[in-house]
Amino acid sequence: MKQLSTALLLSLITIFTSFGQNLPYVNHSEVGVLIGQVEDGDRVNFSLQTLHGVRINQNHDFGFLVGFDRYPGAKIVPFGMGWRGTLRPENKVSLFAGFDLGYGSMILERKIISEWGQHSWFEGGLMVHPTVGFQFRKRESSTMIFSLGYKRQGTTYFVGSPINDPWLDFPSPSNPDHWHSIRKDEIILRSMSVKLGFIFH
């Protein structure tokens, strides 16, 4: 899944770069919270995202996005491609919608090795994030935005004890011969997103 997601994103970025060379630049930057549930109650987590792209026409923006989401016990860096569509951009207040598709990277998380040699770590997964909201046009070059959305972030948690092999520096989680025992837990983080931000163009 990780290799497929990365290959797909690289292909989309290549297409986007070649297609958008002569189109005007646009930036969507947002900050807010992700609201969801954990075993012992509700959670409210910090979220930051910025989209850099092009204005295809007055109703549609498309670009590459990167962000930072802080979940309980894990920090995720989502990246991918995003679309934004505005119903009536000429109005001071207008409805808009968005859709983000990408991969949540665990680059900020490190593998933990206990004093007994047990390894535990996270790996990222598919990120899907549709949104709806309002745009409030302030000036010709900037617009304030408020959005609500649903964010689905996949992750995987591994914990295991590798075999004692001096030639094995990096045991592979997909190779059972590298482990005495290993457990893989698929985790889906579902959240409602509430964000404020600005569009600059």
pLDDT tens-place values along the chain, 201 residues long: 555 556 656 666 666 665 556 789 999 999 999 999 988 889 999 999 999 999 999 899 999 999 999 999 899 999 999 999 999 888 899 999 999 999 999 999 998 888 888 889 999 999 999 999 999 987 777 899 999 999 999 999 999 888 877 666 677 787 777 888 889 999 999 999 999 999 998
Rounded CA separation 23/80 (Å): 20
CB 158 within 8 A of CB 125: no
Task: Indicate which CATH number applies to the domain containing 173.
Answer: 2.40.160.20
What single-letter DSSP state applies at residue 140?
A: T
Can you give the residue range of the structural domain that contains 174?
2-200
| Tokens linked to 109 | 């998380």
Classify residue 195 as exposed, middle or buried by CB count within 10 Å of its CB (0-12, 13-18, 19+). Answer: buried
**Residue among 165, 135, 129, 188 at smallest CA distance from 1:** 188
Q: What's the structural domain count of the chain?
A: 1
Amino acid type, 20: G
